[in-house]
Chain A
Amino acid sequence: MINKLLFKNQDKKQLIIAMVGAFMGITFLITSIHYLVKVNEFGKGADILGPNTIIVQKKVTNSSSLNLTKTDFSKNEINNMIAESFVKDVKPVISNNFDVSFQTDDPLVPYFRTDVFIQTVDANFLDVKTSKWHWKKGDKYVPLIMPREFLVMLNTFMSASGIPQVSDDLAMGIKFKFKLWNSEKQIEEKVDARIIGFTNEVSSLLVPESFMKYGNDIYSDGTEQKITQVMISGEESQFGLVEELLTKKGLESKNSQMMIGRLKSVVGTLILVVLGISIIAVFVSGLVLIQYMQLLMSRNLYEVRTLMRIGYHPKELIKSFFIYFVKIFGYVAGIGILIFFIFKFFLDKMFDEGGLYIDKGLTWQSLVILLISYVLFAVSSFKSAKKEIFKQY
């Protein structure tokens, strides 16, 4: 009956306008948070290299071919790149300074041997557990990350030999060996190796730093080690600035890496703008709803005052207003989620058709944001109701 007294004779138009504003804000907020997270996750797990990470080298020009300009990086150049605000980290890619070959060592797989080029990168740039990514002399095997194109080549060889091709998982079970040698010193060694992951971004076999140091210490021919490639990790959504830096410094990278970085940067920035607008929309619509509550209370001053005069506790009236508006925001949130799912269905389809295969799962972040908005609204409406009702006490 209190609800009938307080809420029946209200102008529903204003309430509906406030609700529409709130649910639109909520829908855009959930949607933008969801896709911001998804876009940032895009590419994660697909490659063992960490997100927003590229390997760059200096562009080889006619003058560098004639040894007039250098193609290696000095320590100073690396430090200058680290100093940029949009660069998370820069580390040199170290290459082997010794002879090394790679061969199969498994009775189930035909013999295959090739001279290889191995490299090592800092473990922080790899999307792999550090417990797997280490080696010391005496260990059972050297963990290695293989270029996917190498597996394609291996499969072509297998196919030509009439042997079934191998998947990523099966390849990780095959036993391999590295042979390290130095003809001048007349020393050689064979070390077991296992694939622990694949990459599309590096064209050489990646090994742990300790193994590279061991090889270079024992089997190096003594020539100076030059850094011709570096790994750059850029800040989220600031890839455009990394790209600008590369152009300015005359550096180049694989196109695919650049494309993904650029795409993520552009889409991420756009979604950030939408997110900003959504936060403002939710804030404003929340305020409109609170203001509507205050308006409703001011229109019901007589009722509120009289109810207290005949023996109703102010807390009971606060509870009535609080529950009423929390329910309204509940409906708003419910409709917001429903519209989000409809949006998501069409947007996912649109991304798929555009060749952007984004994970279809839900993001907990968008639900947390919804919960935070709900709690903030509930607290604000409670405080507002309390203040207004006690003013009439």
Chain B
Amino acid sequence: MKIILDHIMPFPLASIQHGSESIWGNYIELVPGKHILLNASSGKGKSTFTMTTIGLRRDYEGKLTYDGRNILTFSPDEWTKIRQEKVSVVYQDLQLFPNLTVAENLILKNKLTHVYTETELKEMLERLEIDNKWEQKCGLLSMGQQQRLAIVRAMCQPFEWLIMDEPYSHLDELNAKKCMQLIDKRCGEQNAGFVLTTLGDSHGYQYDQELKL
């Protein structure tokens, strides 16, 4: 699924001077299967990019399309299908359910498309060293553990694009590397692309394209 940002300018960012390479106000194509890095300092609109690209913010001018269709025309049925099967997201604020256990957070997502078995879910947690938290309430986990959980949850669906909004901000380098390996594997299995927003550091990841804000 090709995503095009055709001269998108979010209203809150309209008064700021953007560089000539900025995605804001320019024509940007997100080509399927590509690994894209969006590197910018704080306050430049990384989260705005995420929320706009996945249709949660509509306060912009310009046109944003998925495979040529303006995303503002999608019905609730179409958005539900897109969120279940085409675009997976790791939100900056993680969007987990603190009153549910780790298992329940994953099962709640996984049961929409039944991508993994319970054993496979536990294996993914084990790779990120949080399998011992299976029965623990999510709200009791540290931020780093919650970030890892949010990444595993994002894996629990088929997708063509994985949009990640600063997913490693609370992770050490080793854990970030493990997460990246998991993401690489999953994207490779589906020939999916991803957009990774980071705060001024590429962490040494391999990417095909870098976007600027």
- Cβ 8 A contact of A393, one of B76, B91, B95, B108: B76
- Binary contact readout A357-390 vs B (1 if CB under 8 angstroms, 0 otherwise): 0000000000000000000000000000000001
* A314 on interface, CB distance cutoff 8 Å: yes
Contact flags (1/0) for A300-322 with B, using CB distance below 8 Å? 00010011111111110000000
Write out the residue numbers on chain B whose beta carbons fall within 8 Å of the beta carbon of A390. Answer: 76
A97–B153 CA distance with the chains assembled, in angstroms: 100
For the complex, give the distance between the alpha carbons of A307 and B91 in Å. 13
CB contact under 8 A between A311 and B100, given known A1-B107, A1-B108, A306-B95: no
B109 contacts chain A at the CB level, 8 A cutoff? yes
Measured between beta carbons, the chain B residues less than 8 angstroms from A314 are 76, 80
Say whether B207 faces chain A, with CB atoms less than 8 Å apart.
Answer: no
Interface string of B7-26 (1 = CB under 8 A from A): 00000000000000000000
Contact between A8 and B99 (Cβ–Cβ < 8 Å)?
yes
Q: Which of A5, A9, A303, A312 contacts B112 (CB 8 A)?
A: A312
* Cβ contact within 8 Å between A1 and B104: yes
| Chain A interface size, under 10 / 10 to 19 / 20 to 34 / 35 or more | 10 to 19
A5-B108, A313-B80 known; A303 vs B97 contact (CB < 8 Å): yes
Task: Given A1-B108, A5-B99, decide whether A309 and B80 contact each other with a Cβ distance below 8 A.
Answer: no
Q: What is the chain B residue whose CB lies nearest that of A393?
A: B76
B84 at the interface (CB under 8 A from A): yes
B115 to nearest A CB, angstroms? 12
Question: A129: CB under 8 A from chain B?
Answer: no
Q: Is B56 an interface residue (CB 8 A)?
A: yes
Contact of A4 with B by CB under 8 A: yes
B107/A311 in contact, CB under 8 A: no
- B157 on interface, CB distance cutoff 8 Å: yes
Within 8 A of A (CB), among B91-144: 91, 95, 97, 99-100, 104, 107-109, 111-113
- Residue of B56, B76, B89, B113 with most partner-chain A CB within 10 A: B76
Chain A residues within 8 Å of B153, by CB? 310
A312 and B80 contact, CB distance less than 8 A:
yes
B83 at interface, CB cutoff 8 A: yes
Q: How far is the CA of A2 from the CA of B99 in the complex (A)?
A: 12
Q: Report whether A313 and B76 are in contact in the complex, using a CB–CB cutoff of 8 Å.
A: yes
Which of A5, A311, A315 has the most B CB atoms < 10 Å from its CB? A311
Interface of chain A, helix or strand or loop or mixed? helix
Kindly identify which residue among B83, B91, B95, B99 contacts A9, using a CB–CB cutoff of 8 Å.
B99
CB distance from B2 to the nearest CB of A (A): 21
Q: A311-B83, A314-B76 are in contact. Are A5 and B109 (CB under 8 A)?
A: no
> Once the chains are docked, how many angstroms separate the CA of A390 from the CA of B80?
13
B77 in contact (CB, < 8 A): yes
Closest to A315 in B: B76
- Cα(A380)–Cα(B108), bound, Å: 29
Whether A311 contacts B104 by the Cβ 8 Å rule is no
A9 vs B139: C-alpha distance when bound (angstroms): 14
CA distance A312 to B91 in the complex (A): 16
**B109 — which chain A residues lie within 8 A by C-beta?**
310-311
Which residue of B95, B107, B153 has the most chain A CB atoms within 10 A of its CB atom? Answer: B95
Q: In whole Å, how far is A37's beta carbon from the nearest beta carbon of chain B?
A: 46
Q: Are A309 and B83 in contact (CB under 8 A)?
A: yes
The distance from the CB of B139 to the nearest CB of chain A, in whole angstroms, is: 11
Q: How far is the CB of A28 from chain B (nearest CB, A)?
A: 39
A142 to chain B, nearest CB (A): 76
Distance (Å) between the CB of A296 and the closest chain B CB?
Answer: 14
Decide if A5 touches B97 in the complex (CB within 8 Å): yes
Bound complex: CA A4 to CA B100 (Å): 9
- Known interface pairs A1-B107, A4-B100; A311-B95 also in contact (CB < 8 Å): no
Question: Known: A1-B104, A1-B107, A393-B76. Contact between A311 and B97, CB under 8 A?
Answer: no
**Chain B residue contacts of A309, Cβ below 8 A:** 56, 83, 89, 91, 95
A307 surroundings in chain B (CB, below 8 A): 108
Min CB gap B108→A, angstroms: 5
Which of B77, B80, B99 is in CB contact (< 8 Å) with A311?
B80
A5 to B113, CA, bound (A): 19
Cα–Cα, bound, A303→B138 (Å)? 14
A311 touches B84 (CB 8 A): yes
**B binding-site residues for A, Cβ under 8 Å:** 56, 76-77, 80, 83-84, 89, 91, 95, 97, 99-100, 104, 107-109, 111-113, 153, 157
Query: What are 22 of the A-B contact pairs (CB < 8 Å)?
Result: A1-B104, A1-B107, A4-B104, A5-B97, A5-B99, A5-B108, A8-B99, A303-B97, A306-B95, A309-B83, A309-B91, A310-B109, A311-B83, A311-B84, A311-B112, A311-B113, A312-B80, A312-B112, A313-B76, A314-B76, A314-B80, A390-B76
Interface, chain A (partner B; CB < 8 A): 1-2, 4-5, 8-9, 303, 306-315, 390, 393
